[in-house]
Amino acid sequence: MFSLRTAVRRASTARPLLSAQHAVSSARLGSPLARSSLKASAVPLLQGRHYSRATDPHLTSTRSTVVQLLSNIGSKREVQQYLSHFTSVSSQQFAVIKVGGAIITEHLQTLSSALAFLNHVGLYPIVVHGAGPQLNRMLEDAGVEPQFEDGIRVTDGKTLALARKLFLEENLKLVEELERIGIRARPLTAGVFSADYLDKERYNLVGKINGVNKKPIESAIEAGCLPILTSMAETPDGQVLNVNADVAAGELARALQPLKIVYLAEKGGLFNGDTGEKISAINLDEEYEDLLSQWWVRHGTRLKIKEMKDLLDDLPRTSSVAIIHPADLQKELFTDSGAGTLIRRGNKVHVSTSLSEFENLEKLKDVLVRDREGLDARATVDRYVEGLKERDFKVYNDEPMEALAVVLPPQKDATSHLAHLATFTITKSGWLTNVADNVFASIKKDYPKLVWTVKEDDENLTWFFDKADGSLSREGEVLFWYGVESGEEVKQLVQEFNQHGRQMFGDLNLESRLHRAAEAATSIGKGRGASAASTVQKRSFSTTTNALRAARMTRPMVPMNAFRTYATTNPNPPLGEKNMSNTQPSKVALIGARGYTGQALISLINAHPHLDLRHVSSRELAGKKLQGYDKREIIYENLSPEDVKRMSENGDVDCWVMALPNGVCKPFVDAVDQGSEKGNVIVDLSADYRFDSKWTYGLPELVNRSKIAQATRIANPGCYATAAQVGISPLVPYLGGQPTVFGVSGYSGAGTKPSPKNDVDNLTNNIIPYSLTDHIHEKEISAQLGTSIAFIPHVAVWFQGIHQTISIPLKEEMTSRDIRNIYQDRYAGEKLVKIVGEPPSVKDIAGRHGVEVGGFAVHSSGKRVVVCASIDNLLKGAATQCLQNMNLALGYGEYEGIPLE
C-alpha cells in the first residue's frame, strides 16, 4: 500500500507534468526523425480541409506517447475517462480557453506546450486572449493616459489604434510559438465577434457582443489548426470595437456550449480570503448563496463568481469553468484532483433519514441495483431496503441520483462510536462531474468520524485513499477511516476488522439473518480495477497545511473557512498579493490631506493599480489643484459633514481616509454612518478610535489579518506605537517587568502646524521631550500588548524617521541568540518587518516602508535585553500601514501598491 500511496502522491506533483511536456517537445523537435515525421504529417493538411489529427496515422504513436505521459499526473482510469469524455463531443465543443495578457508575456512557452499537449491527443481548444497589461505599458510609452469607468477602459480612437496593433502582435506571437513547436494554429483576428456600442457616450469605442460567427472557428479546426482569437469585435458597418477578453470568452462559450471554459491566470485560481488557501472547487447549486454571504467574497471575487454563475446558467450541466495556471492545465483537465479552481453548477445534495421521504421508493431501489450483478440482485436490494426500516440511517443523493450514499450512525448500544458508510454508488457521469466529492463532503459535515470498506480491486481505490486518514487491507477488502485520531481507536478498529472483517464494517449491523444481504448490498456501486498491498498505513504529514492540501486533492466541498493553518511559525501570515482577487477600482476620499501623512498617502495611491482617488478635502487648500497625483485632475475641496453624508448616500466613495488631528473626525465618521446603511470602509489615522472596541485596530503584523479584511471601521495605529509593539510583542510571554521605550522622532512627527517641536532652529543642537508620562501612545501600546509599558518620546532635528531603544526585563535568563531566534521566528514571512543584527539607524529607514528591529543586547545578568526598532513615521508609521489596511479591507493583495525591497 505504501508504494501505491507514494505513486499517487508523486503523480499529484507538477514535476512529472513538466517533465512530460519537455519530453514531448524533445520527441517532437529533438531529432531529424521527429522533424521528418512532423513534415510528413503536415502533407494531408495541404490536400483537403477535412483533416483530423486524431485519425492521422502519422500521429498515432505521438498520441499514444502523450496519453502515457498524461498518466504521470493521474491514474490511467482518470486520464482515459476524461479523454473519452472530451472527445465525445464535436471538436469545437471541447473547451474555450481564455488567456490573460500576462500569460502571453510571462509564460508563452508553458502555454504553448500545454496547448500542444491537448492537440496531440486530438483535442482542439479554442483560444481567445487579452493583452491588458501590455496595453497599459504601450499607452504609457505613447503618452496616452488610460481612463477607466466602473472598471471598463474608456477607448478613444488613439487607444483603439494602439490596442488593435498590440492585439495583432500578441496573437501572432502565440501563433508563431505554436507553429515553432509543430502545432498548426490559425489567427482569427476579425470576423468572429459582432457587437453594438456598450455605451458610446460613456465608454466610446467599447463593444457589447451581440453575435458569434462560428464558421471561421469550424474552418480552422477542419483544417487541423488551433483557432487563436483576439477580443476585438465589429459593428455591422465595420467599426472595430474593444471588448473585454473575459466577456468575449463567455459569449464564445454561450455560442459553442463547450464542456470546459478555462481561464488561464497567473494566480492559478480563486483564493479563500479567510484562510489564504486556493479554493479547489465551487459547487454553485449547493454553495452559491452561502458563498456570497462570506465576508471575503467581495469586489473582484464576488463579481467573478457571479459572472461564472450567469455563464453556467446558460450552458448544459455538463459544462464547468476552471481558473488555472497554464503549467497545471493538464492536471486540471485530466485528473479528479485538478489543480486550480473548478466552478460547476452541480446538484444540491438531498439528505433523507426515512424511507417515507422518497416519493418513489422503486427509484431508490433502481439506483441501488444498477451496478449489482447476479440474478438475485433485485431480491437482495429489497432485503437491504427492508433492513433499513429497523435502524437509523442517512441517505445522501443528488437530484438525478448520479451519486447515492447510505450512512449508518453508531448505535447507542454499540461498542464502536463510528459511523459506517454502508453504500456508495456513483455513475460514470457522477465521477466525471465530481458529484462524488460533493456527496462525500456532505457526509463529512455530518459525521466527523467514519469507516467504510472497499474491494481491493475497485478501480476508484485511489479516490478513497485520498478521502481517508488511514487504511487497512485484509483478504481482498480495504478498510478506510477518517477522524479516528487516538492510537487506541485505531488499534480497536484494526482488531475488529481482523476478527470480523466485513460483518463489522461493511454490513448494516443488523441481525444475523440479514448479514448476507447486507454484505451483498454494501458492494453496490463499487467498481473494479485497481489493487493495493496489505498493510496498515496512517496518513501523516509534517504540517496541517499538507494535510489540507491532501484533503483537497479530489475537490472535497468542505466549508471554505474550515481550515486556517500555516507552515510558518508566524500565526498571522500576510494574505499577500496572490490570495486576494479584487481587480475592480475603488473610489477613495481623503479628508484632511494637508499634512505630511496625507501627502505620503496620495503618492502611494497614485502608484496603486486599483485605487482611484476622487476627493481630497483640506480647508486651507480648498480650490487649489492637487499636486503629485497623475490619474486625474483633482481640486482640493473643503468638505463638510453634510457633504460627506450626501456622498455616502450616493455611493460616491468606497473608502474614506480620515487624516485629521486628534479629536475632530467624529462628525465626519458619523456622517458616513448616517449616509450609508451598509457603511463604507473608513480608515482613521488619528487616535480617536484606537480604544473603541467597535473599531478594528489595524496593525496587520500583530492583529489577525482576517479581522482587518472583514472590517469596515479601522483605527490606524500610531507611528511610535507600531514600532514599539513590533519591538516588544515577541517577548511578552517572557516579560519579567515593565518595558521602557525611549523614542526619538524627526520633526515631521510634530505635524505641519508651527510649534517649538517642529522649529528647525529650536531643534538644532537640541532634543525635546514630547511628554514625560501618560502620552497617548503609552496607553495605546499598553492596551494592545496587554501589559504596562513606560514610554518617553522625544523629537530631534531630522525630518522623518523614528528610533526606539527599548529596555525589556526578562523573567528568566536568556541569551542574545535565543532572543534573536524568537524575533526571526515570529516575523518569518513578514515583508515589512526586517530583523537585523546591529541596532538599526534612522538614516537607513527614512523613506522606506517597513520596520527594522535589532540590537538584542542582553545584560550580564541575562535577565534584561535591549532591543532597538526604527520606522519611518510617515510611511509604515502612517501612510504605508494605512494602505495595508485599505488593501485588506477592499479585497486587494495586502502589499498592492507598496514598493517592496
- The SS3 of residue 330 is helix
* 336-373: pLDDT as tens digits: 778 899 998 877 788 999 998 988 888 888 888 876 66
**Helix 776-785 vs helix 719-728: crossing angle, to nearest 10:** 40
The dihedrals phi and psi of 149, each to the nearest 5 degrees, come to -130, 115
DSSP 8-state symbol, 637? B
CB atoms within 10 A of CB 337: 22
CATH code of the domain occupying 2-344 = 3.40.1160.10
Query: Residue 604 above 60 pLDDT?
Result: yes
* 477-498: pLDDT as tens digits: 888 889 887 777 777 777 777 7
CA distance 698 to 879: 12
Instruction: Using CB atoms within 10 Å of the CB of residue 290, give its burial: 0 to 12 exposed, 13 to 18 middle, 19+ buried.
Output: exposed
* Lowest-confidence segment of 449-463, 537-551, 697-711, 874-888 by average pLDDT: 537-551
CATH code of the domain occupying 586-715 = 3.40.50.720
User: What residue ranges do the domains of the chain occupy?
Assistant: 2-344, 349-535, 586-715, 719-877
Query: Residue 320 above 50 pLDDT?
Result: yes
* 286-307: pLDDT as tens digits: 888 888 888 888 777 888 899 9
Q: Which residues are catalytic?
A: 719
pLDDT (0 to 100) of residue 563:
24
pLDDT (0 to 100) of residue 608:
93
pLDDT (0 to 100) of residue 75:
62
pLDDT band at 500 (very low <50, low <70, confident <90, very high): low
The answer for 786, left when phi > 0, alpha when psi is -120 to 50, beta otherwise, is: left
Q: Could you tell me the pTM of the whole model?
A: 0.62
| Whether CATH 3.40.630.30 fits 349-535 | yes
CA distance 268 to 329: 10
pLDDT band at 175 (very low <50, low <70, confident <90, very high): very high
CA distance 520 to 432: 26
pLDDT (0 to 100) of residue 391:
84
Q: CATH topology for 719-877?
A: Dihydrodipicolinate Reductase; domain 2 (3.30.360)
* Lowest-confidence segment of 88-97, 185-194, 621-630, 640-649 by average pLDDT: 88-97
The dihedrals phi and psi of 228, each to the nearest 5 degrees, come to -120, 110
pLDDT (0 to 100) of residue 783:
93
Query: Residue 616 above 90 pLDDT?
Result: yes
More confident residue, 508 or 343: 343
pLDDT (0 to 100) of residue 242:
94
Max mean pLDDT range (559-563, 608-612, 747-751): 608-612
To the nearest whole percent, how much of the chain has pLDDT over 70?
80
- Read off the pLDDT of each residue in 45-71 and give the average, rounded to a whole number: 48
